Amino acid sequence: MTIRTRFAPSPTGPLHIGGIRTALFNYLYSRHFGGQFLLRIEDTDRERSTAEATKGIIDSLDWIGLDRDEPTVFQSGRMDRHAAVARALLAAGKAYRCYCTADELAAERAQATLEKRVWRYDGRWRDRDPAEAPDGVTPVIRLKSERSGETVLDDLVQGPVRVANAELDDMIILRGDGTPMYNHSVVVDDRDMAITHVIRGDDHLTNTFRQLQVYRALGWEPPRFAHIPLIHGPDGKKLSKRHGAQFALEFRDMGFLPEALCNYLMRLGWSHGDLEVLGRDEAIRLFDVTDVNRGPSRMDYVKLTNLNGVYIRQADDGRLTGDVVERLANEHGLSAGPDAVARIRTLMPALKERAKTLVELAHAAAFLVRTVPLPMDTKAAAVLGPDAGPMLRAVAAELAGTDFSAPAIDAALHAFAERAGLKMGQVAQPLRAALTGSTVSPGIDATLAALGRDESLHRIAVAVADVNGP
């Protein structure tokens, strides 16, 4: 048997981080067994589904690298198939027409709420003669659910879960206008897509018992189910905006690497010993949904950010340079020409040691693209006081005589500091301010080498002129 899993979101808004984890678990489980991973867009809610949300779902999955094995299935394009199966159940006596009006049922629900009791449809049209139907009422089709015994789900995460069939009323499978209901459509789609394992959030657990009734009525073998706990905020409450980012592409915009986010989410409810950092291939080799914890997990943004820093330090410098150049253009309005790109690439090994997000990395690299006069932060301006001019002019003369490699620069600066009776910081900090507009940067030797001879000496000269005049 080929393992086939699917991720089936509704395109009614941005893809939540919990949805990304669900998709990831489906992907890892299918890949672990050499199976297939599919995407189905459940877009039958015409009023709330949008093309923008659909694009966001697909972009999110592409960004984190969850490749699908077949073209995307859109549920809205299969409504005729759903309706045909519902009518087949009707013809087989497994379903029936219900002529209750919406107003009638709404009044009964309201009364049940007032009396603080659970309302369930009582099946009044289940065995009633359709000849008694009132005029002007378009019927819905309801499933004849089992009334006795219980439905048992052997869940791969939650273990055995039981529900008395008496608690499951005869649900609508086809509306009066001929459109199918969710719990019916999902069963038909999973069957036609040959899905073997349904891995989804445990908020779907109630739906699963209703869907199992549909499987039984149709005589179809259901897939295996695995209901994973939801993600909560650090305070144990439902994850919301007050906790921080909650949508997949927000994390991209905030500068998280997709592999770092996947690593973190994979271990949010699943673990393998003390392993913290897991690449994609290792994750596929080790992951099994049966090892997922039953309890909810708590989102720890600090831990995610620290893990992202680990992945940034391991990332390819060329890849990081490309991302930084794009962010500088989009977020800072700084266009990097070939020389500036080369500077960023040269200094990237040092820049990425300090960064925990790509946003921080782009901010740290911005000085390499800027033109003089540089914007100065408060601390840099303070360092560049009147006494800094003569020292910078002398340092520039010292540097001009080197080959501008990092080792030669380091040796020249130490020699200058020793002759001048200065500590290295007293030389490096004014120099750093002149070169970057800040008092924070990678090592001063690496920074000078990345800027190059002409640009470095030009920036120092402009800084001296600003401090002391031409």
Task: Give the pairing type, strands 224-228 and 95-98.
Answer: unpaired
352 tagged catalytic: no
- The residue type of 427 is V
Query: SS3 letters for 210-226?
Result: HHHHHHHHHCCCCCEEE
The DSSP output letter for 49 is -
Tell me if 19 sits within 8 A of 248, measured CB to CB.
Answer: yes
Find the length of the chain.
470
User: Cβ contacts of residue 111 below 8 Å, gap of 6+?
Assistant: 119
E-strand ranges in 276-352 read 297-298
Candidates 294, 357, 348; CA nearest to 156 is: 294
Burial zone of 117 (CB within 10 Å; 0-12 exposed, 13-18 middle, 19+ buried) = exposed
Give the Cα separation of 386 and 468 in Å (integer).
Answer: 6
DSSP bridge partners of 149: none
Task: Give the pairing type, strands 95-98 and 140-143.
Answer: antiparallel
A 10 A CB-CB count for 170 gives 22
Give the Cα separation of 48 and 327 in Å (integer).
Answer: 32
Q: Which residue has the tokens 């087989």?
A: 92
Give the Cα separation of 357 and 256 in Å (integer).
Answer: 6
Give the Cα separation of 303 and 312 in Å (integer).
Answer: 14
Q: Report CA torsion sign: 173, 175, 178, 181.
A: negative
E-strand ranges in 42-167 read 73-74, 95-98, 140-143, 150-155, 159-164
Which of 237, 238, 241, 379 is catalytic? The answer is 241
Burial zone of 454 (CB within 10 Å; 0-12 exposed, 13-18 middle, 19+ buried) = exposed
> Which positions are annotated as active-site residues?
241
